[in-house]
Amino acid sequence: MTANEIIKYKKILIIRLSSLGDILLTTPMIRALKNLNSSFEIDFLLKENYRDTLVYNPNLAELLILKSNSENWNEIRKKIREKNYDLILDLQNNIRSFRLIWGLSCPKLKFRKYSFLKFLLVNFKYNLMKHLPQIAVRYSGVIEGLRLDADGLDLISMNKPDESLFKLKIPIGICPGSRHFTKMWPKEYFIELADLLIQNGYDVILFGGESDKQACYEIESAVRGITNRCNDNQVLQTIAEMRLCKAIICNDSGLMHTACAAKVPVIALYGSTVKEFGFTPYKNKNLILENNSLTCRPCSHIGRSGCPKQHFKCMREIKPLQVFNSLKDFISL
């Protein structure tokens, strides 16, 4: 279906249930739809714990919030049917989204996941994904001819940074977390990097969510002078405070995309995943540091709980001094 063909529609539902980064990467498409036809009524279905990601998005009419209990699932299914959408864009494209929209007669366009190409790349290192664009562009590709603008990701926050942060002179953000072990630079390397930064006159702010609290606490405890702003998944507070930073150093994670939405330069550390999967910083100044000498990368398209080879060279061979020197050059450009 083409962009010209959908102009006649009025009510559109976009489905992307999770996660933080994936949802942020839909925002260029949302904006493109509104630019195509300002009268579109665009609703978005997502999980409850990611609500804040889109709660202030001006291009959306309503958020449909999916909770974990079966009663809510039935309510959402009923609401989708009552809203009588003209078009559904299923960017989740899994069994859960299929169950929610099964039986509806309106046109349904689904995001192409390229699962077989991922399988070939991960298991046989046979790379047929080099030509594929970033995920934000792939999302928009479900509608042929839909044009994205030159802007990046959207995450609107009304929150104010903590007052103590305004006293910092050269704040550098560090996000040590990620959902999977093989996407996380070693904690001791973050400690060494933070120490280098502070010794050289930079200020360090730690960012993270609920699952990152232990790591942030240990880094804070090991290095004197760190400001720890890790919180309970309060992404609107996090992005408000990220905007004060000169740069953000992070793993391939949801907070990497949050930093991009904050329009802050990003240095991203890539371990088990690679650029071809499409989850690279979108339309934001960035530098990706990765170990391209290994034949075992990628070992997963989402990350693993441990290194299959037991050496974890993809991350361990990216040294703190290398990251520090890269940062100095990066923010001086």
| pTM confidence score | 0.96
Q: How far apart are CA 104 and CA 90, in angstroms?
A: 13
Whether 175 and 248 have beta carbons less than 8 Å apart is answered as yes
What pLDDT does residue 69 have? 76
Give the number of other Cβ atoms within 10 Å of residue 179's Cβ: 17
Q: How far apart are CA 156 and CA 25, in angstroms?
A: 14
Q: How far apart are CA 2 and CA 137, in angstroms?
A: 15
pLDDT, tens digit, 9 for 90 and up, residues 222-234:
999 999 999 999 9
pLDDT, tens digit, 9 for 90 and up, residues 255-270:
999 999 999 999 999 9
Nearest to 271 by CA among 307, 240, 234: 307
pLDDT, tens digit, 9 for 90 and up, residues 249-304:
999 999 999 999 999 999 999 999 999 999 999 999 999 999 999 999 999 999 99
Q: Are strands 286-290 and 266-270 parallel, antiparallel or unpaired?
A: parallel
Nearest to 282 by CA among 166, 154, 181: 154
Average pLDDT value for residue range 85-94:
97
pLDDT over threshold 80, residue 65: yes
For the chain, domains (ranges, CATH) are 10-140 (3.40.50.2000), 163-332 (3.40.50.2000)
Q: How far apart are CA 223 and CA 251, in angstroms?
A: 20
Numbers of helices and strands, H then E, in the chain: 13, 11
Backbone angles phi and psi of 275, in degrees to 5: -60, -35
Residues 6+ apart with CB under 8 A from 309: 296, 299
pLDDT over threshold 90, residue 70: no
Q: How confident is the model at residue 333 (pLDDT cuts 50, 70, 90)?
A: low
pLDDT over threshold 70, residue 2: yes
What pLDDT does residue 50 have? 97
Instruction: List C-alpha distances in Å: 219 to 41, 156, 175, 210.
Output: 46, 29, 11, 15
Residues 6+ apart with CB under 8 A from 71: none
